[in-house]
Chains A and B, each alone.
Chain A
Amino acid sequence: MRTSPSQVGLLGLLTVIIVGGGAFLLGFYWLPGAQGVGTVWLRMCRAAGIVSASAENGRETALPGHTTVVIPPDAMTVGNANQIGHGATLALRCTGCHGAQGMSGADAPNLAGQYSEVIYKELLDFKRGARVDAVMGAMVATLSDQDMLDLAHYYAYLPHPAEIHRLADAPALIRVGDPMRGIAPCSSCHGRSDGKVGAPALDGEPKVYLQRQLTAFADGARRNDANAVMRGEARQMTAAEIVLVTDHYAAR
């Protein structure tokens, strides 16, 4: 080797500067320039991912009738005795439809043992108008945030009806979904193989209620599912499939 000691290092440095400089020039000047929108400076900022330079920034607003609920951590914990007691008192107003122990005799949803964050989210959606129902809209109008949290904790505290089916016996749509139609398995959010925050437990719910909700999701009458997850699922399902899965969940 006849190279002097520093030459190799210098050569390396030079290569990196040329390659790097070229790459930056292409990536931040020439390529964004080829898109031809806005000033050079704006394009360079966009290529760098600088958000404030992006025209769309800050324009995003919630569409009417869609959920705006962000579930707070204290809706996901177990309530203390005071919260449950206060919730139980408030729940006296709900017994007409949801039953004395949270088990409805009127095809309203059973609330006993439902996840607290689910109840809290639905109450808040009713209150904000993201979910529409003549009775529920009136019922929640005067509830404070704390009231809704306490109600949620009370119902979560009541025992949930026992699951009678094993997952292996459930219809394929519930176990594995139908990926080719974009239907995720029900059990991956609603329990038994996995759960997602905000998705209710469905076992033992009244069949009429479940069918009405799935149909409402399918035709867009109900729109408070975050990211349109349930609307996407339900639209793909046939009427027979809706009956099949709701039969399964309603059985007790």
Chain B
Amino acid sequence: MLVLAHFWSAFGLFLAALLLGEWQMILRSPLHAWVNIPEYYYRSVTGHGTVMAYVFPLLIAMGFGYAIVELSLKQSLIGLKWAWGAFAVAAVGALMAAAAVASGAATVLYTFYPPLIASPFYYIGVVLVVVGSWIWVALMAVNLRSWRRRHRGEPVPLAMYANVAGAYLWAWTAVGAALEILFQILPVALGLKSTIDAGLARVLFSWTLHAIVYFWLMPAYIAFYVIVPRAIGGRLYSDVMARLSFALFLVFAMPIGIHHLFADPEVGSGFKFVHSVFTAMVVIPTLLTVFTVCASVEIAARLRGGKGVLGWLRALPWRNPAMLGLTFSFVMLGLGGAGGLINMSYQMDSTIHNTQWVTGHFHLIFAGAVVIMYFIIAYDLWPNLTLKPLGQSRLIGMQLWLWFIGIVVMTLPWHLAGLLGMPRRMAYFDFSNAALASQAWTVNAAVMGGALMLVSGVLFVVILARAHFNPRSELAPYRFSAPVHALARVPKALNGFAVWVSLMIALTLTNYGIPIVELLRANTTVPAVFYFAH
């Protein structure tokens, strides 16, 4: 029930935000006459971003986390009441923020953009969502501890290990934005102050901004390792490699956010360079994952009789949703990752900074590679949650294809437009101008891609909803992927988090300490601009 509540509210909000996204694309394209009111566009962007970046992935991670506790630790969730409480707090927060945005009192975009200041209801709503998620983090830790007490010396199941790694990553990464909201923005929004240090706010937000991306990624990565190999009839190539990837994500996800601030004069170039280097280090857990998962897939193919150096590819169950989802996800992750190399390079970034390229990049990675795995997670867990078979495999295949094509059609032209210099976050382009007319097709393509995604999103919800009406049937007990070599024990460092969490915190302090202290000392405050006053 708890997991279903999380998933259904996540997907309901997802569908609404998807609709907003498509509407924004139509509004901005030459297919629709300009409405003359940029406010509508930015209000919609704020709603779309707040839901898609905060509420939707948090609800998925929370629901998936609760499911993992029950399915991998084989114990009922400790603190069920707290979990419902967390859900209620997050839901109230989400509604508060949504109401503030819808009323036009909080058109500041989900990245807040101080010195713009919105209605305090918006920020308090976001804080409540985060508070709900922190309760979830605590519950994950409590459940793991209780399991450990009863299973001394045994390796923590991989799914739970990865899940708790994600929870700890979130707990720490949310601190940056929490500091920004609680100590900088809210005092101004509540009228206690009239100035704000926008430079410091941006640095604190960058603390959250990049690691949150890896937090979105976590459920998808967990699915790569513990769902896909089993779903396609294979085995996980290496349990230890998987643990190492998640541990490294903890370390390398955090001290890298300043690569979002390459154009900010308040931050020294040395720190920009260091953050650039650490961002590059993320390739290690990423390539470890690509290797391990590909090896696991090859095992599945060979178990199904695949032969030859590449001939085994033919033996793969291509119609299996998990196989299809994984393939699409890897293709998009590859393309997005290649583009990301440009974003994170101190020098190359200047060619695409704040252009439509960036929007293309994070939609390709998050809406593409990650969200398609959220679909797979839902499909995979649904029979276990509803106790009814899912069926409709043709429709599922179609849904995944549509999503993939939609993302590609939408985001690749965005990359090109960004290279041509189209700025992001623009409510309107005058495509009747000869100099811009040649770029109009990129926006039209985004409308088409968005339409495909909208159809796919509706299909997804229909498939999940219809499953509730199937007759109950006996289902095999749910299990996660088994590794090729069952582990009797794993290295201690990869069965716990002490080393990795300490490294995460220590690196955050070294990589953010001086920039934050220096901004506090330099006091670069500016008058706040009260958005809701107008």
Contacts and interface: CB of A to CB of B under 8 A. Distances in A.
Nearest to B493: A9
Interface in B268-287: 268-274, 277-278, 281
Contacts of A197: 529
A16 to B, nearest CB: 6
Contact of B499 (A13, A23, A31): A13
Given A1-B240, A9-B499, A44-B270, A176 B34 contact: yes
A168 to B, nearest CB: 6
B503 A13 contact: yes
Contacts of A194: 38-39, 534
Contact of A3 (B429, B491, B521): B491
A31 B269 contact: yes
Given A28-B270, A176-B34, A16 B503 contact: yes
A49 to B, nearest CB: 3
A141 interface: no
Contacts of A66: none
Contact of B269 (A4, A24, A27, A187): A27
B268 A50 contact: yes
Given A12-B493, A44-B270, A49-B269, 14 more contacts: A4-B491, A9-B491, A12-B248, A16-B503, A19-B277, A20-B278, A23-B274, A27-B271, A32-B270, A167-B36, A172-B430, A193-B39, A195-B534, A197-B529
B522 A1 contact: no
B247 interface: yes
B428 interface: yes
Contact of B518 (A19, A50, A172): A50
Nearest to A47: B270
Contacts of B278: 19-20, 23
A170 to B, nearest CB: 8
Contacts of B494: 8
B395 interface: no
A9 B39 CA distance: 51
A9 B492 contact: yes
B476 interface: no
A124 to B, nearest CB: 15
B430 A31 contact: no
Interface stretch (A68-76, A85-93, A99-107, A233-241): A68-76
Interface stretch (B205-213, B295-303, B507-515): B507-515
B361 to A, nearest CB: 23
The 3 closest A-B pairs by CB, nearest first: A49-B268, A47-B270, A9-B493
Given A12-B248, A13-B499, A51-B522, A31 B491 contact: no
15 contacts: A3-B491, A12-B251, A12-B499, A20-B274, A23-B278, A27-B269, A31-B269, A46-B269, A47-B271, A73-B194, A167-B37, A168-B36, A179-B429, A180-B433, A194-B534
Given A12-B503, A193-B37, A193-B39, A49 B430 contact: no
Most chain B CB inside 10 Å of its own CB: which residue of A22, A48, A168 = A48
Given A16-B251, A16-B503, A48 B270 contact: yes
A178 B429 CA distance: 10
Contacts of A1: 240, 490-491
Contacts of A176: 34, 36, 428, 430
Nearest to B530: A76
Interface in B474-501: 490-494, 499-500
A71 B278 CA distance: 42
Contacts of B194: 73
A176 B30 CA distance: 14
B492 A5 contact: yes
Contacts of A32: 269-270
B326 interface: no
A175 interface: yes
A136 interface: no
A9 B248 CA distance: 11
B23 to A, nearest CB: 18
A6 interface: yes
Nearest to A49: B268
B533 A76 contact: yes
Interface in B515-534: 515, 518, 521-522, 527, 529, 533-534
A48 B271 contact: yes
A7 to B, nearest CB: 7
B21 to A, nearest CB: 22
Contacts of A73: 194
Q: Which of B248, B493, B515, B527 has the most CB of A within 10 A?
A: B493
A184 to B, nearest CB: 11
Contacts of B268: 46-50
Nearest to A5: B492
A6 B493 contact: yes
Contacts of B510: 20
Contacts of B465: none
A138 interface: no
A175 B39 contact: no
A47, A49, A176 pick with most chain B CB within 10 angstroms: A49
A146 B430 CA distance: 45
B257 to A, nearest CB: 15
A188 interface: yes
A81 interface: no
B491 A49 contact: no
A239 B518 CA distance: 49
A176 B41 CA distance: 14
A229 interface: no
A193 B251 contact: no
B270 A8 contact: no
